[in-house]
Amino acid sequence: MSRIVLASTSPFRRALLDRLGLAYEALAPAFDEIAPGGLPPAACARLFAEGKALSLAPARQDALIIGADQALELDGELLRKPATLDEAADQLGRLAGRVHALHTAVAVHAPPGVPPAPGDQRTLTEVATVELRVRPLGRAQIRRYVELDRPIGSAGGYLFERRGPWLFDDVRHADETAIVGLPLVPLCRLLRRFGVDPLDA
């Protein structure tokens, strides 16, 4: 079975990957999230997930590398990840009482030292999209939430893996791990394409 590297130091993504029972290393990707103008949100998530995985490929040619990223879409617009608590509060204010889409991409890359997937494919990517409806929220509720969870750098200005569920009226997706940032069902599907399946004897 191939070595595995997770191109992320997020404790939430690591907790999800731990559930699969695979041995892996977690390393910070050498990648800047700068999207070309006009790129659709789902394509942006895909680009960043692949970019994170590819950024570690030169140094880790002995391992499959997993990259993941999220992009939030509201009425066709990509909302940038908030850099401050005020920006997080502003985003939640825009999302309150409305439905938005959260696109989570996961990529698996095989550097030259690792056998590719069938068809000689070295990078495979899937995007999982979740529709979420934020409940109506007052300004005091939003401020209270961002002060509790401090969701700086999180798409939409919320952390579903903490107190985030208090913000929502409805979530529509079969794989809740996509909301947290590493959709496990698509990831397992991609890893199997590279011959990684702990259920095989």
Per domain, the residue ranges of the chain are: 3-193
Give pLDDT, residue 36: 74
Rounded to the nearest 5°, which phi and psi values hold at 21? 70, 25
pLDDT at 34 (0 to 100):
75
Q: Label residue 201 by pLDDT band (50, 70, 90).
A: low
DSSP letter for each residue of 67-123: EEEEEEEETTEEEPPPSSHHHHHHHHHHHTTSEEEEEEEEEEE--TTSPPBTTTB-E
Per-residue pLDDT, 1: 61
What is the residue-averaged pLDDT of the chain?
Answer: 93
Q: Which strand (E) or helix (H) includes residue 168?
A: strand 168-172
Structurally, what CATH architecture does the domain formed by 3-193 represent? Answer: Alpha-Beta Complex (3.90)
Provide the whole-model pTM: 0.91
Please name the residue ranges forming H helices in 25-103.
Answer: 41-55, 85-95
**Which are the catalytic amino acids?**
69
The answer, yes or no, to whether residue 2 has pLDDT greater than 90, is: no
Q: Answer whether residue 130 shows pLDDT above 90.
A: yes
Segment holding 129, helix H or strand E = strand 123-134
Q: What's the mean pLDDT in 118-142?
A: 96
Between 174 and 97, name the one with better pLDDT: 97
- Residue 32 binned pLDDT confidence (cut-offs 50, 70, 90): confident
Compute the average pLDDT of residues 97-122: 94
The Cα 116–Cα 174 span in angstroms is 29
φ, ψ of residue 118 in degrees (nearest 5): -50, 140
Q: Give the tokens for residue 17.
A: 């990957």
